[in-house]
Amino acid sequence: MASSSYTSLLVLVALVTAASAQLSPTFYGTSCPRALATIKSGVMAAVTSDPRMGASLLRLHFHDCFVQGCDASVLLSGMEQNAIPNAGSLRGFGVIDSIKTQIEAICKQTVSCADILTVAARDSVVALGGPSWTVPLGRRDSIDANENEANTDLPGFNSSRAELEAAFLKKGGLNTVDMVALSGAHTIGQAQCSTFRARIYGGDTNINTAYAASLRANCPQTVGSGDGSLANLDTTTANTFDNAYYTNLMSQKGLLHSDQVLFNNDTTDNTVRNFASNPAAFSSAFTTAMIKMGNIAPKTGTQGQIRLSCSRVNS
């Protein structure tokens, strides 16, 4: 009998733990009902001022979730921000800080930086004409960050298709379709010359000749010269969230090596074709994948904290 009671207790504890770990779209419905509207207005203002900011906020969320889960660790000053994939290229910290300040003014220490960043990523997509989705909420903020994991777990611009699949599968079981859909975030934003220089100067053969020539005009071959010069990731509709990224891949106009590997006589070709010809299929797959990514190892319940400032832990 004692053993049975103990087992029942363990089951009860497991159920309570599982319940506390569930995120909910209505998490702030009572505690901070104006939170979502405040985030949306902040994002809209930022993207209206600088359309590229939409892509930057989306990337910030991705780089957060792929390192110890969606816990706002990437927002902490230093540490992950100094990692090779992040240093000198992550943007949007000021936008998140501004939104956090506005929310703290109406709901003291209630809304996490992790949730603000997750919602801001969604609102950025919407602001640029992309699909919307319901964001589960209730994440808490980490009290640490992991620069080493950022260096090892964030997929790079030279990644192969197999490396991309492995990197995504490692994070919350994001499958190949999720990976191809999330890569579609490159329908907005820009990349630095240093990330595609090798590709346009003979490093890759799977690139449109005229496209490569046009890129060379603002990206000198000499390393260190023009490294920060920018090119649009989507050569057709750079500031509109659509499915043109996939059409570009079919014309060998993927800017990064890690873009074009998705359409290179390989297993992901058919998914690219589907997304290129069917905008609704891309939108559906993208929103599904974004929700899955936003659910990677969230801190909930009494884990972590609700930071007062997104750039530092509470004193």
pLDDT of residue 20: 40
Q: Is residue 6 part of a domain?
A: no
Contact predicate 168/262, CB 8 Å: no
234 is in an annotated binding site: yes
Q: Note whether 120 and 182 are same-domain residues.
A: no
Contact predicate 167/153, CB 8 Å: yes
pLDDT of residue 15: 41
Q: Which residue in 52, 63, 122, 253 is the catalytic one?
A: 63
Q: Is residue 301 part of a domain?
A: no
Q: Is residue 9 part of a domain?
A: no
Contact predicate 298/114, CB 8 Å: yes
Q: Is the pLDDT of residue 154 over 50?
A: yes
97 is in an annotated binding site: no
Q: Is residue 199 part of a domain?
A: yes
Q: Is the pLDDT of residue 12 over 60?
A: no
Report the C-alpha gap between 309 and 266 in whole angstroms: 45
**257-281: pLDDT as tens digits:** 999 999 999 999 999 999 999 999 9
**100-153: pLDDT as tens digits:** 999 999 999 999 999 999 999 999 999 999 999 999 999 999 999 999 999 999
61: annotated active-site residue? no
Tally of domains within the chain: 2
Q: Note whether 187 and 275 are same-domain residues.
A: yes
CATH number of the domain at 98, please: 1.10.520.10
| pLDDT band, very low/low/confident/very high, at 172 (cuts 50, 70, 90) | confident
Q: Note whether 285 and 173 are same-domain residues.
A: yes
Q: Is residue 14 part of a domain?
A: no
Q: Note whether 107 and 196 are same-domain residues.
A: no
Q: Note whether 182 and 149 are same-domain residues.
A: no
Q: What is the pTM of this model?
A: 0.92
Q: Note whether 211 and 267 are same-domain residues.
A: yes
Q: Note whether 167 and 288 are same-domain residues.
A: yes
237 is in an annotated binding site: yes
**178-196: pLDDT as tens digits:** 999 999 999 999 999 999 9
| pLDDT band, very low/low/confident/very high, at 221 (cuts 50, 70, 90) | very high
CATH number of the domain at 220, please: 1.10.420.10
Q: Is the pLDDT of residue 84 over 50?
A: yes
Q: What percent of the chain has pLDDT over 70?
A: 93
Write out the residue range of the structural domain in which residue 244 sits: 161-292
304 is in an annotated binding site: no
Q: Is the pLDDT of residue 310 over 50?
A: yes
Q: Note whether 173 and 267 are same-domain residues.
A: yes
259 is in an annotated binding site: no
Q: Note whether 123 and 174 are same-domain residues.
A: no
Q: Is residue 25 part of a domain?
A: no
Q: Note whether 98 and 147 are same-domain residues.
A: yes
Q: Is residue 20 part of a domain?
A: no
Report the C-alpha gap between 158 and 162 in whole angstroms: 12
Q: Considering the chain, what is the average pLDDT of its residues?
A: 94
Q: Note whether 232 and 166 are same-domain residues.
A: yes
pLDDT of residue 18: 42
Q: Is residue 315 part of a domain?
A: no
Q: Note whether 123 and 207 are same-domain residues.
A: no
| pLDDT band, very low/low/confident/very high, at 79 (cuts 50, 70, 90) | very high
